[in-house]
Chain A
Amino acid sequence: MPKYLFLQRSVPGQSQRSSPAQMQEMYAAFNAWKEKFKDRILDMGGPLKPGGKVVTASGATDGPFVEAKEIVGGYMLVSAESFEHALEVARESPPVTMPGSSVEVREIRETEGP
């Protein structure tokens, strides 16, 4: 079953985030975001397929963009039968139910695939 990466974004300044675990989480979010550029920049075959969708409380929007003022709050890996199924899962995830928050969904390339 294909795997999907969920990048969670929340509005800054809403929580006091200073524990080492939370710092690790923020750092992991950056690293997850970074991965999609490794592919593009280094042409070494990164784990993310280009394109994706952002799911917000008001529904899915095209393209992997969210406003610059939003921040990545964490990420998780989700297995789903299809991209559409992954979007359904994202819509039901807790971050999306909060106004202003969103989840970006990216399909992860199979390592042994083409």
Chain B
Amino acid sequence: MTGGVESGAPPGAITGPGLVEHFFRREYGRLVAVLARKVGVRHLDLVEDAVQGAFLGALTAWTARGLPEDPGAWLYRVAYNNLTGDLRRAAGRLRILERTVDAVAGSGDDPAPSYSAREVADDMLRMLFVCCDDAIPRESQLVLALKTLCGFSAAEIALRLFTSEANVYKRLARARDRLREAPPDVETPPLNTLTSRLSSVHAVLYLLFNEGYLSAHAEQAIRRELCDEAIRLATLLAEHPAGAVPETFALLALMHLHAARLEARRDGMGGLLLLEEQDRSLWDRQRIRLGVEWLERAASGELFSRFHAEAGVAAEHCFAPSFDETRWSEISDLYAMLERIDPSPLHTMNRAVAVAEWKGPEAGLAVLQALAPPVWLAGSYLWDAVLSDLHRRAGNLGIAQRHRERALASAPADAVRDLLRRRLATRPR
């Protein structure tokens, strides 16, 4: 499970355009992390430019002369030379960076040392912790991680996060401003001093996964990618002493258990399927196995985190033989625990749905009655969809219809709208 940190895939493996892209993105994160450790995150801009330049060079050189023996080492050498050149030029202008240049350039004539998988993992994780600096706003943390560790361009990030390219640049600028402020002497803090940021790292990985999982993006492949990146980084974290705690294991378990059902969420026509409509035989058994293995490892210690509760819910679904045989009482309890650990009206709403399946629609509505939804929830299609569903099943058809119309009007995508139409239409129960 150390996929993604080894250097240079075998040359023969790079064939289709998808694979090339995949290889480049993996290498990007690796190179940026290693070089940023060498020169300091203050120079992240220069590091990224240098790596970008190496990729452009590779496109020309490799097309003309074929693949080098070790593409990873080739990229590193070129990126390294680009970077030292850039640093020298910057030092010439600013006269303050000589020490950095000397430190890098003085490390020998052979700038392509072979890093062990462990060292690369160290560098990648250090970069991840650097991205999760508390002084950087959460949204910027996510964008910075996508850019530096996952190798997405600003345009690709904008596409995946449903925002504008300008907004992505704005968020990146905010993050880089903060990194530039880092005093020179603590440019590359040791990993063990960064573990206090672990909960921020968890939050960013969770956000990254959810962007992929919950997104109504039309293209399955695009959503899948974000989930895979989140799982890759979380696996790196879980297998490293800096992050190997039950909470990380639970986070990784919930990612695998949700990802197991990802493919089955879609019909053959690009539409979304309700849980009860999904063909459970299409769920990814291998993923479920990984998920439950991490879940078992997470079952340790004296802390039951929100990730434990959420992984527990995901596991209940994965192990239920059918929708009707789902243990809704367990799921209701898990949501209740989640509400205590991390109070949010969203969790209360989810509990109401589970309670309604368990004890009937009236019981579900009773849970919601005690809840005054904040504006962001009351204005979302989910809130109206849940109310419409519960009221219809309780026989309050007029109220149900009103919420149904509001839910359909505010649905974020056609696929979601179609799903709501099916769920909120008269359903035999």
Contacts and interface: CB of A to CB of B under 8 A. Distances in A.
Contacts of B299: 29-30, 32-34, 71-72
B341 A27 contact: no
Given A27-B292, A29-B296, A69 B340 contact: no
A30 B295 contact: yes
A42 interface: yes
Interface string A70-104: 11110000000000000000000000000000000
A37 B308 CA distance: 11
B316 to A, nearest CB: 9
A14 interface: no
A9 B300 CA distance: 9
Contacts of B336: 42
Nearest to A19: B289
Given A34-B312, A42-B340, A68-B244, A23 B302 contact: no
Interface of B is mostly: helix
Contacts of A23: 288-289, 292
A73 B296 CA distance: 8
A65 B302 contact: yes
Interface residues of B, number: 26
B62 interface: no
A38 to B, nearest CB: 6
Interface residues of A, number: 29
Nearest to A34: B312
Interface in A42-72: 42, 64-72
A12 B319 contact: no
Contacts of B417: none
A18 interface: yes
B292 A68 contact: no
Nearest to B293: A26
B246 interface: yes
Given A17-B293, A23-B288, A30-B298, A68 B312 contact: no
Contacts of A26: 292-293, 295-296
A1 interface: no
Nearest to A67: B300
B296 A41 contact: no
Interface in B272-322: 288-289, 292-293, 295-302, 304, 308, 312, 315, 319
Given A23-B292, A27-B315, 15 more contacts: A24-B319, A30-B292, A30-B298, A32-B299, A34-B299, A37-B308, A38-B333, A40-B304, A41-B340, A42-B336, A65-B302, A67-B300, A68-B244, A68-B301, A72-B296
23 contacts: A24-B319, A26-B292, A26-B293, A26-B296, A27-B296, A27-B319, A29-B299, A30-B296, A30-B299, A30-B315, A31-B312, A31-B330, A33-B299, A33-B300, A37-B308, A37-B337, A41-B337, A42-B333, A42-B340, A64-B302, A68-B245, A70-B300, A71-B300
